[in-house]
């Protein structure tokens, strides 16, 4: 029984030996990394492997020379000392080389990280600069459009004061409405509503070309420019442009798009839902909303609101 116990104890002790050397090796690795001042990783592991191989080789040479010392004369002591000293010096030289390589790797790693940070910063600055450049041009175009609107003037024939700026668009829309109603009254039996509307808008734009042709060209230029908006933010700038238009301007732009006067305007407004919240109740006919793709209206097809009359008044 005692023999069995001794056997198991010896077996446990034998199993602990590899664990002991593994722990010792791990401690040496930690001290090695601290010595060379290098973070843990694959590179430090490889360097430590080389260090361990060199160290074991030097120890092996020392042991071989030590055991062969007794079999040789004292005259060979110098050879023994040189044989031991040379591996040690070689080992120290090798360690110096490893440390040099480690320092170079660390410097290269830091340089790479610094380069990446610099590249990221430059990319961010480039993005900001591109957006600032775009917005400067965009708002200049919008300002130019508003300036053109302010210069429009209509001289009434009855001697009334001139009508200027955005007030002119109420007159323009009245002209369009009267022309459409007149053509419907005369030609509705022969032509479809779409044909009458196209005819009406074409003739209206021709008659008011002096005041409106430049205006719509500028609208088209601004909408087209939003296609180059950074970070796909074209929708934001289209909505901003639309918000600058009066209700009558927006109605005229609607009929400009509905009658296919500009493929650019039609495409951009549909892409970015430029007519979201459009007041369809002010159209010449509610059915005209069908002449513009549904995507142009977004989720809000109409923002027309009923007048809220108190119950006491309605009764």
Spans of all domains in the chain: 2-130, 151-312
Beta bridge partners of residue 154, listed in sequence order: 163
Res 291: pLDDT = 93
Beta strands in the chain (DSSP E): 153-154, 163-164
Helix (H), strand (E), coil (C) string for 122-179 = HHHHHHHHHHHHHHHHHHHHHHHHHHHHHCCEECCCCCCCCEECCHHHHHHHHHHHHH
Res 4: pLDDT = 47
Res 121: pLDDT = 72
Res 279: pLDDT = 83
Res 192: pLDDT = 92
Lookup: tokens for 39 = 């973070």
Res 46: pLDDT = 58
Give pLDDT tens digits along the chain (315 positions).
545 455 455 555 656 666 766 776 677 666 656 655 555 455 556 566 666 766 676 666 666 666 665 555 545 555 655 665 676 667 667 766 776 777 787 788 888 888 888 777 777 677 888 889 999 999 999 999 999 999 999 988 877 888 999 999 999 999 999 999 999 999 988 999 999 999 999 999 999 999 999 999 999 999 999 988 888 888 999 999 999 999 999 999 999 999 999 999 999 999 999 998 888 889 999 899 999 988 898 875 454 556 666 666 765
Q: Could you give the CA distance from residue 287 to residue 188 in angstroms, rounded to a whole number? A: 15
Our CA angle for 229, 124, 120, nearest 5°, is 140
Q: Could you give the CA distance from residue 296 to residue 185 in angstroms, rounded to a whole number? A: 30
Res 105: pLDDT = 78
Cβ atoms of 167 and 174 within 8 Å: the answer is no
């Amino acid at each position: 029984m005692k023999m069995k116990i001794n056997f198991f104890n010896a077996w446990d002790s034998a199993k602990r030996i590899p664990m002991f050397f593994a722990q010792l090796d791990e401690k040496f690795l930690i001290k090695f990394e601290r010595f060379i001042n290098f973070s843990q990783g694959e590179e430090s592991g490889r360097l430590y492997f080389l260090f361990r191989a060199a160290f074991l080789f030097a120890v092996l040479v020392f042991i071989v020379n030590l055991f062969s010392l007794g079999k040789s004369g004292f005259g060979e002591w110098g050879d023994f000392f040189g044989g031991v000293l040379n591996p040690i010096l070689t080992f120290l030289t090798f360690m110096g080389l490893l440390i040099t390589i480690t320092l170079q790797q660390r410097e290269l790693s830091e340089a790479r990280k610094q380069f990446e940070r610099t590249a990221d910063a430059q990319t961010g600055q480039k993005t900001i600069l591109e957006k600032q450049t775009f917005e400067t041009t965009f708002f200049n175009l919008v300002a130019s459009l508003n300036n053109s609107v302010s210069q429009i003037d209509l001289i009434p024939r009855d001697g009334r004061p001139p009508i200027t700026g955005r007030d002119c668009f109420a007159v323009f829309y009245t002209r369009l409405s009267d022309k459409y109603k007149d053509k419907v009254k005369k030609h509705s039996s022969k032509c479809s509503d779409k044909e009458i509307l196209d005819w009406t808008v074409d003739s209206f734009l021709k008659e008011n070309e002096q005041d409106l042709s430049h205006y719509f060209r500028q609208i088209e230029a601004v909408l087209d420019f939003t296609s180059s908006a950074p970070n796909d933010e074209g929708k934001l700038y289209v909505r901003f442009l639309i918000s600058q238009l009066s209700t009558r301007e927006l109605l005229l732009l609607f009929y400009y798009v509905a009658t296919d006067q500009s493929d650019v305007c039609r495409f951009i407004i549909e892409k970015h839902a430029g007519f979201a919240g459009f007041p369809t109740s002010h159209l010449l006919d509610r059915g005209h909303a069908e002449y513009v793709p549904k995507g142009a209206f977004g989720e809000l097809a109409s923002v027309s609101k009923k007048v809220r009359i108190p119950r006491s008044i309605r009764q």
